[in-house]
Chain A
Amino acid sequence: MSSAITNILLVGVGGQGILLASEILSEAFMLAGYDVKKSEIHGMSQRGGSVVSHVRFGTQVFSPVVPEGEGDIMFGFELLETSRYLSLLRPGATVVVNDFKILPPAVLLGQAVYPEGLADSIRTAFPDTLLVDGQRLAIEAGDLRAANTALLGAVSKRLAITDDIWRQALEKMVPRKALEINLMAFQMGRDLKG
């Protein structure tokens, strides 16, 4: 029933630019002629809490939230948060994950450890996993804050959307003065192998 719908989940930590990335994605799908719905919780999440954004596109989308176990693509901004929400994915889903850790409070306080080997365990559960160094790409593009668009570039290869539409979506959603760096970061992500 939902086979005609593609379900994307963006997960990470408040402040990582997840909302902007999901806005750009939604804009691109609309420009490509799809029905799009998007949903996320922003409230407490601004204060360094975990964030999940749902983006769904297809010919007709009803629910704004991705049904559990039906996620097609996970776009993870942080390793721990990506691991936390894997159960939202269907078997064989694609994972594009930032090779990046943000330590949660209990770990900062030395009361818990940040689990080792998360990238490997994600890949074991979902063989189609691409590990991206978003931070490095962003620094190369000229601004650490463009890590979200670099990752989006890497995700973009998994989606049948043309260069031209991505460009239009970025131009519309990214503030003018940051546009050039973000376009570059996006392209670097898009050019990654794998």
Chain B
Amino acid sequence: MTNKEILSGNEAFARGAHEAGVRVASAYPGTPSTEILENIVRYPEIDASWAPNEKVALEVAIGASFGGGRALACMKHVGVNVAADPLFTLSYTGVGGGLALIVADDPEMHSSQDEQDSRNYARFAKVPMLEPADSQECLDFTRLAFELSEQFDTPVMLRSCTRISHGKSIVQPGEPVSGLPEPKLVKNPAKLVMLPGNARVRHPLVEERTVKLSQYGDTAAINSMELRSTEIGIICAGVTWQYVREALPEASTLKLGMVWPLPEKLIRDFAAKIKRLFVVEELDPFIEEQVKAMGIAVTGKEIISRCGELSPGRIREAFSKIGLAEAIHELPLQQTMSLPPRPPNMCPGCPHRGVFYELNRLKAYVTGDIGCYTLGFMPPLNAMDTCVCMGASISNASGIVRVLPPEEQRKVVAVIGDSTFLHTGINSLMEMAWNKSPATVIILDNRITAMTGRQENPASGFTLNSDVAPEVNIPELCRTLGIRYVQVLDPYDLEATHAALQEEMNRPEPSVLITNRPCCLIKGADRFEKGAVLEVDQGNCTGCKACLRIGCPAIEWKPDSENKKGKAFIDANLCTGCTVCQQLCKFNAIGRKK
């Protein structure tokens, strides 16, 4: 038997996939789900790869499942929006080899644009959903998900969240399953071709399946009733169960390992044993509303917020307000000083920085997108005006120009990263070219998916396993989509960037600018190379602060006590020699470090 290990939820999901005999795993990165696939790479028997987006990832997994292999897809919560189309129909077709979809929610929006609750997708798509409460359960539930998938002929969703995926706890790994059937082609069009006639046959089976799964849940070990004091009983699941156990150690709990469909009989049994029943759940009143619909009296969102993460403290506070827990003692230290905040920032040498500096100078109206470059919104760059979802920058620009007078149309610039462009931006650019929207698009091609921790993408030249791969030629692709004006530019050259932007903004026709500097965190041949480190000549520095306007973390302003103007300094450990600050200095004060 293998030794115990401390694993993150994501590492444990990967281990679970290995033990379950998964053949194919596909995903698109997204915090906090990204490391599942990155860890699956250590199990060479699994064919694991990044897909350009979540819809494609799920469809790759569906194909592998139809071929008879066990298949896994992983994504963050908003990824399911993109993958929803295949998901809903997959619910009708059912599976060949077992199929699991791991979705990682982000209550509190630590790194997301919304905190949608993916349990709603399970009910909406009529697909069972398991919710692990620690890393051991991430492993065990992944194994179980594949068994249930094959037993009930259904995809199974596994719901994680930031605290589960990025939390670590002790895991006892198990032995991989053996004796799974060999994948092969089996024709079954009545089940797999979802035309109306076939789908009408499948839908009632899906409804029956839900009833059977609910009955399974009544006795399944993953739904467990723990009776302690019968004064208070709490229905909860996942990491929230951990918080409840800590905040209210005396309370009885019904811990649900399967959060959809709910085990109605078990819930009724539990309710009958308890004086006051509660549901404690993060985000939506998902369990609570269903318990209420069973006609059972229960308290939930009356005392627990629908917004943000829970914690033992928040739960104890909610119960102390209704007199069911001791009040929390005063915190020992109230912060009296106001401390300067420390928001994330683009790295020193980031190729995105100069582009936003010039967009700001040109007073562009920037329809933004999601990636490291969204930080261009922050001061002092202040050069982003909208950001909705991946790919939206281009289509938002295309739409906004249609309501604007020509002199305002010129100001509209869409900014999008390479990974995001390939994810869903392509469709938007197709639309822009097709319908001749006179906006400018900048593709910030830093040759990597930087935001989520530097994953390869279809234009980066490598696969998940670091194998050399064909590279999408982004300029040619844009031309093929019908864009007549496509220019590649060096974002470290401010003058050229300014000129190109001005030229394309003035053009009453769609055009695309593509930057060509790699992310400064990717190393290796043909990728980022550090330039000569720069320094400020203190004799020449006049303290004009021009170099501060790019917000580079390597440049520090030190006020000078004698002459109030102060001077700039460059931190040689941080400077990458990108020269953007040097180009801003009119007094020749910035040069190579001697």
Contacts from A to B (Cβ < 8 Å): 1-2, 13-14, 23, 26-27, 30, 35-50, 61-65, 67-69, 80-81, 83-84, 86-87, 89-91, 103-110, 112-115, 121, 125
| Most chain B C-beta atoms within 10 Å of own C-beta, residue among A14, A45, A67 | A67
Contact (Cβ within 8 A) B339 A39: no
Closest CB in chain B relative to A181 CB, distance in Å: 18
Q: Which of B495-537 contact A (CB under 8 A)?
A: none
Q: Which of B47-55, B200-208, B219-227, B342-350 contacts A (4 or more CB under 8 A)?
A: B342-350
Residues 336-358 of chain B, each 1 if its beta carbon lies under 8 Å from chain A, else 0 = 01011111111100000000000
Q: Which of B1-59 contact A (CB under 8 A)?
A: 4, 6, 31-32
Give B334's nearest chain A residue, CB to CB.
A87
Q: Which of B166-174, B187-195, B265-273, B414-422 contacts A (4 or more CB under 8 A)?
A: B166-174
Task: Report the interface size class on chain B.
Answer: 35 or more
| Residues on A with beta carbons closer than 8 Å to the beta carbon of B329 | 69
Give B243's nearest chain A residue, CB to CB.
A63
Give B312's nearest chain A residue, CB to CB.
A67
Contact (Cβ within 8 A) A83 B344: no
Contact (Cβ within 8 A) B168 A114: no
Residues 358-378 of chain B, each 1 if its beta carbon lies under 8 Å from chain A, else 0 = 000000000000001001001
Give B573's nearest chain A residue, CB to CB.
A144
Complex formed: what's the CA distance from A154 to B385 in Å? 47
Known: A44-B344, A47-B347, A104-B341. A64 touches B167 (CB 8 A): yes
| Residues on A with beta carbons closer than 8 Å to the beta carbon of B312 | 62-63, 65, 67
Contact (Cβ within 8 A) A41 B110: yes
Contact (Cβ within 8 A) A114 B340: yes
| Residues on B with beta carbons closer than 8 Å to the beta carbon of A43 | 31-32, 110-111, 452
Contact (Cβ within 8 A) A83 B380: no
| Most chain B C-beta atoms within 10 Å of own C-beta, residue among A46, A86, A104, A125 | A46
Complex formed: what's the CA distance from A66 to B6 in Å? 18
Complex formed: what's the CA distance from A62 to B242 in Å? 5
| Most chain A C-beta atoms within 10 Å of own C-beta, residue among B162, B313, B379, B559 | B313
Known: A45-B344, A87-B333, A108-B553. A62 touches B243 (CB 8 A): yes
Q: Does B470 contact A (CB under 8 A)?
A: no
| Residues on A with beta carbons closer than 8 Å to the beta carbon of B168 | 23, 26, 36-39, 64
| Residues on B with beta carbons closer than 8 Å to the beta carbon of A86 | 333, 335
Give A93's nearest chain B residue, CB to CB.
B332
Contact (Cβ within 8 A) A87 B6: no
Complex formed: what's the CA distance from A64 to B134 in Å? 9
Contact (Cβ within 8 A) B340 A80: yes
Complex formed: what's the CA distance from A112 to B557 in Å? 11
Closest CB in chain A relative to B391 CB, distance in Å: 20
| Residues on B with beta carbons closer than 8 Å to the beta carbon of A110 | 545, 548, 557, 559, 566
